[in-house]
Structure 1
Amino acid sequence: MSMTSTSNNAAHAHDGAGSEFLAFTLGSEEYGIDILKVQEIRGYEAVTRIANAPEFIKGVINLRGIIIPVVDMRIKFNLGTPVYDQFTVVIILNISGRIMGMVVDSVSDVTTLSPDQVKPAPEMGTAFNSDYLIGLGTIDERMLILVDIDKLMSSGEMGLIEKIAA
């Protein structure tokens, strides 16, 4: 899938030398989030279910004495039936001081994108509402859908996480 964009003013959100993104996969797409929001990456482990929580909130885990909610992005965005195997990982995020986990299919690498490698996200059929996208990062033939994880995790629908974690 190749997409070309004629706009060069895309990276106004990130000026300067470039930003580092953690690349991860959900289904057939590869996404990136700001590495500064990532606290650690863990293998998937059993979670404690919470009664009456939406299905995409898998439950909570005890992370060194802190109870943190875990969201399964594959369920949240209807990306097929999630499979939990040795590649499944939980990305532990620190969003404005709130710790939470995000289940993804796999994590590939950390990539530095310069501002000219970030293009505006076109209106296209990604799982994520374009409000939550920073843009598309392009590295050679590879394309990362860059997610504004702060915005996504603080959105109204994710507000339920705060109630659960409380």
Structure 2
Amino acid sequence: MSENEKEILIEEDTQKGKFLTFKLEKETYGIEIKYVIEIIGIQEITEVPQLPDFIKGIINLRGRIIPVMDVRLRFKKNFVEYNDRTCVIVVDINNLSLGLIVDGVSEVISIKQEDIVPPPDIRVNNESRYICGIGKVDDDVKLLLDIEKLLNVEEINELNNV
């Protein structure tokens, strides 16, 4: 095993079980930290015609054009005006950088594998298909997102062409 491969394994191991948590309304969600590139404040968004309504447009992040998704709208929740707590979590999904607009970022937490249970098989709302597990943290629960299901293949291809 090369030194580079060892470094990658060590990095993956230190990120295992770590989640960036954020708020949408009253719920707390978690994203595996390995997907997170950075967190920035909300900034000017340029609208792009013909994109799905949950894609608010694009931002220029230090010369890189990044599409931004309002996670509330993706989950079919009501739009809320952005404020000073609103954040953009820049993630990497299948080599596509994407900004996720959330109400606010909470913290990075560790959740042991044994404290993660599968979500109940309830197809009541659209948001449940994006949940890959429920993390039990003390007396709280964190809804863990399957980040790779936030966009389907067609949507990724469409955003790659923006």
- Of 120, 123, 128, the residue aligned with 2:121 is 123
Instruction: Find the partner of 2:148 among 138, 147, 150.
Output: 150
SS in 2 for 1:163: helix
Structure 2 residue runs of 5 or longer lacking an equivalent are 1-14
Query: Partner amino acid for 1:120?
Result: P
* Closer, same or farther: CA 140–127 of 1 in aligned 2, 3 Å: farther
Partner of residue 91, structure 1: 89
For 2:31, what is the secondary structure of its paired residue? strand
Q: Which has the higher contact order (CA 8 A, sep 6+)?
A: 1
Deviation of the 1:161 alpha carbon: 4.6
Q: 2:155 aligns with which of 148, 155, 160?
A: 160
Judge conservation of contact 1:31–1:145 (CA < 8 Å) in 2. yes
Deviations 1:12-62 (A, max 9, x none): xxxxx9510000111121110100100000001110000122211100011
Counterpart of 2:136 (choices 135, 138, 143) is: 138
Matches within 5 A, 1:1-166: 19-124=17-122, 127-130=126-129, 132-153=130-151, 155-156=152-153, 159-166=154-161
Q: Which residue identity lines up with residue 66 of structure 2 in the other structure?
A: I
- In the alignment, residue 127 of structure 2 is paired with which amino acid? F
Tell me, what secondary structure is at the counterpart of 2:150? helix
Greater fraction helix: 2
**Counterpart Cα distance in 2 of 1:116 and 1:77:** 27
Distance 2:16 2:37 in 1: 20
TM-score of the pair, normalised by structure 1: 0.80
Aligned 8 A contact 1:87 1:105 in 2: yes
The alpha-carbon deviation at position 162 of structure 1 amounts to: 3.3
Q: Distance in 2 between matches of 1:162 and 1:27?
A: 30
**1:51-109 per-position Cα deviation (integer Å, ceiling 9, x unaligned):** 12221110001111111110001112122222200000000001232111010101100
Please tell me whether the aligned partners of residues 49 and 59 of structure 1 are also in contact (alpha carbons under 8 angstroms). yes
TM-score (norm: length of structure 2): 0.82
Contact 1:26 1:106 in 2 (8 A): yes
Contact 1:92 1:100 in 2 (8 A): yes
Residues 152 and 102 (structure 1 numbering): CA distance in 2 closer, same or farther, change over 3 Å? same
